[in-house]
Amino acid sequence: MKYKRILLKLSGEALMGTGEYGISPEKISEYAQDIQSIVNQGCQVAIVIGGGNIFRGIQAANSGMDRVQGDYMGMLATVINGLALQSALEDIQVKTRVMTAIKMDEVAEPFIRRRAVRHLEKGRVVIFSAGTGNPYFTTDTAATLRAIEVEADVILKGTRVDGIYTADPEKDATATKYESITFDEVYQKGLRVMDMTAFTLCNENKLPIIVFNMNIAGNLRNAVKGEDVGTLVNF
């Protein structure tokens, strides 16, 4: 394995599968098996999942809801997703801990950096939920912050496309894929990899990002091994 400790960022929408909302048992089971495959190889895995399959605070704010209230509701949605992934992982005997940025002791541990690192060292998958615990910050930013705090080697951003393109490949048939790209090039070309706060945090802390298609079995394992999967954003 090229990367010993990773932070896997998944969107909430990824858990929907072919549905329009909610959690697909089949999809979350596929993800759990992919994660199991790299845990069995000795990789230490931390995960951040969005909540867009259940609730998106920014969309609620655009509809007239108070932004702060909407963001807290979105954070709770990420806890639901975290608990669902924990259940799927433990069904296949992968030891897991859910840690939250908002205290809810009955369902998860509070985020404590040293405890999170200890869990990773013991081979447990750690799922970070409830974002940063603050409104106005995305789960991209939460993923970057947690990756830096636990000293992950890389952020693996699992999406439904196989990397970063010159344009949206789902809308522009002429879009071409970057095999690798630097942070400066992303800024210069105005490409959207993560939200700008998260992306700048990665740049400032020399944390590489791999954007890849999580929906292809084996891609996660190959990315961790350092094979050419997706697009690498480096320095």
User: Beta strand pairing status for 177-178 and 164-165?
Assistant: antiparallel
Tokens of 23: 């959690």
Say what the pTM is: 0.94
Rounded Cα distance between 1 and 3, Å, is 6
Which pLDDT score is estimated for 110?
Answer: 97
Q: Consecutive 10-residue runs of the chain (235 residues): their mean pLDDT?
A: 95 86 93 97 96 79 83 94 97 98 95 98 98 94 97 94 86 90 94 92 96 93 93 94
**Phi, psi angles (nearest 5°) of residue 8:** -95, 120
Beta partners for residue 165, in sequence order: 177
- The total number of residues written for the chain in this structure: 235
Which pLDDT score is estimated for 21?
Answer: 86
CATH code of the domain made up of 5-234 = 3.40.1160.10
Tokens of 150: 């636990």
